């Protein structure tokens, strides 16, 4: 009897200890952190349903995604993190290239050499395409690993371009008359519209756009050329790139009151008057606005990024990538049009010829200084830029990869059909860009806002309301000087 009692007591003791141990194990919280990013719905679903769960399982942690709307919201969010008394939860942030300098110089991001050792960092750096990696350095320290590269190309409907090339001359008298008012001459001497959009310049865009705007399609006449017009970084970048093609430098982009920048706004005024679809500013189109305009027959041409091309074209039988054009085979791709001066000399030739060079940019991964688990955050960045994940994104969404083992294999992997053509043109555009990037100043986000403000206030609000008004360079210059000259002088370099 006594032996049985002792046995029962012992068993109760063992069971109690096991219960306490299991309770502690069960209640032990997983390491948690948040990823701050912005993605299109299909990409967001892919990340949250496939990529992140795989990482969570591998590292036994919990990752929550928080989305921002505009790039300048990132600083506000990270500033709030610094002011928190409790544990800071944002462990990784996805940053557009335009913001990388600003955030690092203001002390919001941690340099990677403060997180891992030199040997580890050198080994991890080796997988990336050198140019993409180089853009992650700020003041000699690596603050970012690249996520993807981006550049813009000309995207158009082949059938509509063919129509314009074949029939535009019936509008030549009107086009000459309009341009004579603006440049004193008309179309450049000996002008012809090439059938290959790769050979186009700013005058060709005007001719094609004017033809479309004055030709009835599906019972409607309207301008059918567009670019982003939402009050966000994509619109500013498009304007800056148009100035780069007019021989602007980083310095002249920052100064604003320079000939390439003023000439860019003059071209914009001409396009606003005659060939831009006004819905782009009335509705504040972002990329998705332009996709829907393609779908509805309201736009036939725009400058778009690689992911835009994938969404426009779509994939057969793919619920998340249904496409936005009625005939995907009608989509064409070309290098962006060359910049030329609107002003012509007495012989009818452009006063100067520009380039086709625009920016190569994209998105980068960084780690906030306030991140609680910096080494785990570092592992997350390595995971999402792994060959497996990046290859899936290239195939699904058409991103330009940043890994050497993928960048140099794009032509052979996608050497077929529309995907191969799109990547071929995009790769050629990147080569044409060379080392052109947005101005590398800390206050670039502020500068970007100025470009959008000027476009709306000195161009759209003036020339969309009165098409009879001759483009007045002096008025544009005076507006910039009065409202932005002092502000530009205060920008942090």
Domain boundaries, the chain: 29-150+361-433, 153-359+436-489
pLDDT at position 130: 92
pLDDT at position 7: 47
Beta strands in 118-240 (DSSP E): 137-138, 141-142, 145-150, 153-157, 225-226
pLDDT at position 9: 42
Q: Do domains 29-150+361-433 and 153-359+436-489 have the same CATH topology?
A: yes
**CA–CA separation, 156 vs 226, rounded Å?**
11
Exposure string (b/e) for 155-191, b if CB count within 10 Å is 16 or more?
bbbeebbebbbeebeebbeebeebbeebbebbbbeee
Tell the CATH superfamily of the 29-150+361-433 domain. Periplasmic binding protein-like II (3.40.190.10)
pLDDT in tens, 219-257: 999 999 999 999 999 999 999 999 999 999 999 999 999
Nearest to 105 by CA among 130, 141, 77: 141
pLDDT at position 414: 65
The DSSP 8-state label assigned to residue 171 in this structure reads G
**CA–CA separation, 325 vs 313, rounded Å?**
6
Three-class SS state of 93? strand
What are 463's two structure tokens?
């020339």
Exposure string (b/e) for 344-383, b if CB count within 10 Å is 16 or more?
beeeeebeeebbbbbbbbbbbbbbbbbbebbebbbbbbeb
Nearest to 102 by CA among 446, 487, 394: 446
Q: How many helices (H) and strands (E) does the chain have?
A: 24, 11
pLDDT in tens, 450-463: 999 999 999 999 99
**CA–CA separation, 336 vs 240, rounded Å?**
14
pLDDT at position 85: 59
pLDDT at position 412: 63
CATH code at 153-359+436-489: 3.40.190.10
Q: Please report, to the nearest 10 degrees, the dihedral formed by the alpha carbons of residues 24, 25, 30, 31 taken in order.
A: 80
Beta strands in 293-345 (DSSP E): 301-304, 331-334
Nearest to 137 by CA among 106, 108, 91, 105: 105
pLDDT at position 23: 42
What are 95's two structure tokens?
């940053």
What are 199's two structure tokens?
């050979």
Residuewise pLDDT in 10s, the chain (493 residues): 444 544 444 444 444 444 444 444 444 578 999 999 999 888 999 999 999 999 999 999 999 999 999 888 999 999 998 887 556 789 999 999 989 998 999 999 999 999 999 999 999 999 999 989 999 999 999 999 999 999 999 999 999 999 999 999 999 999 999 999 999 999 999 999 999 999 999 999 999 999 999 999 999 999 999 999 999 999 999 999 999 999 999 999 999 999 999 999 999 999 999 999 999 999 999 999 999 999 999 999 999 999 999 899 987 776 677 899 999 999 999 999 999 999 999 999 999 999 999 999 999 999 999 999 999 999 999 999 999 999 999 888 888 899 998 887 776 666 568 888 998 899 899 999 998 999 988 889 899 999 999 999 999 999 998 889 999 999 999 999 999 999 999 998 7
Burial-class residue 276 by CB neighbours within 10 Å (0-12, 13-18, 19+): buried
In this prediction the pTM is 0.86
Contacts by residues 470-473 (CB-CB < 8 Å, ≥ 24 positions apart): 470/181, 470/182, 471/182, 471/266, 471/269, 471/270, 471/273, 473/262, 473/266
């Amino acid at each position: 009897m006594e032996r049985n009692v002792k046995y029962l007591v012992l068993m109760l003791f063992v069971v109690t200890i096991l219960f306490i141990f299991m309770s502690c194990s069960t209640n032990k919280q997983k390491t948690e952190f948040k990823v701050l990013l912005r993605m299109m719905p299909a990409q967001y679903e892919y990340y949250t349903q496939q990529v992140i769960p795989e990482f969570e399982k591998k590292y036994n942690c919990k990752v929550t995604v928080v989305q921002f709307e505009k790039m300048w919201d990132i600083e506000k969010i990270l500033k709030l993190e610094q002011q928190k008394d409790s544990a800071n939860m944002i462990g990784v942030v996805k940053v557009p290239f335009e913001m990388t300098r600003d955030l690092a110089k203001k002390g919001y991001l941690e340099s990677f050499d403060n997180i891992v050792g030199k040997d580890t960092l050198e080994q991890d750096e080796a997988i990336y395409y050198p140019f993409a990696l180089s853009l992650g350095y700020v003041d000699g320290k690596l603050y970012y690993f690249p996520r993807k590269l981006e550049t813009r190309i000309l995207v158009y409907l082949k059938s509509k371009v063919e129509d314009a090339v074949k029939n535009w001359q019936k509008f030549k008298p009107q086009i000459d008359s309009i341009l004579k008012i603006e440049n004193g001459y008309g179309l450049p001497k000996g002008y012809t519209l090439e059938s290959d959009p790769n050979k186009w310049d700013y005058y060709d865009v005007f001719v094609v756009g004017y033809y479309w705007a004055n030709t009835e399609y599906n019972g409607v006449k309207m301008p059918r050329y567009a670019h982003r017009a939402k009050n966000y970084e994509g619109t500013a970048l498009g304007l800056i790139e148009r100035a780069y093609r007019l021989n602007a430098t980083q310095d002249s982009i920052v100064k604003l009151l320079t000939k390439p920048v003023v000439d860019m706004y003059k071209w914009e005024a001409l396009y606003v008057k005659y060939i831009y679809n006004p819905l782009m500013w009335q509705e504040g189109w972002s990329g998705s606005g332009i996709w829907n305009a393609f779908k509805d027959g309201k736009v036939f041409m725009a400058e778009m990024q690689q992911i835009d091309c994938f969404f426009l074209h779509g994939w057969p039988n793919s619920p998340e990538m249904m496409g936005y054009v009625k005939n995907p085979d009608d989509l064409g791709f070309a290098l962006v049009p060359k910049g030329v001066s609107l002003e012509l000399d007495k012989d009818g030739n452009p006063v100067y010829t520009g380039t086709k060079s625009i920016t190569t940019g994209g998105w980068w991964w960084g780690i906030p200084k306030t991140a609680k688990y910096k080494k785990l955050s570092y592992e997350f960045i390595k995971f999402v830029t792994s060959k497996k994940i990046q290859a899936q994104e290239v195939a699904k969404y058409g991103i330009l990869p940043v890994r050497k083992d993928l960048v140099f294999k794009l032509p052979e992997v996608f050497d077929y059909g529309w995907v191969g053509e799109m990547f071929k043109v995009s790769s050629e555009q990147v080569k044409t860009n060379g080392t052109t990037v947005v101005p590398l100043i800390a206050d670039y986000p502020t500068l970007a806002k100025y470009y959008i403000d000027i476009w709306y206030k000195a161009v759209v609000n003036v020339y969309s309301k009165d098409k009879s008004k001759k483009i007045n360079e002096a008025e544009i210059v005076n507006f910039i000087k009065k409202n932005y000259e002092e502000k530009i002088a205060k920008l942090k370099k």
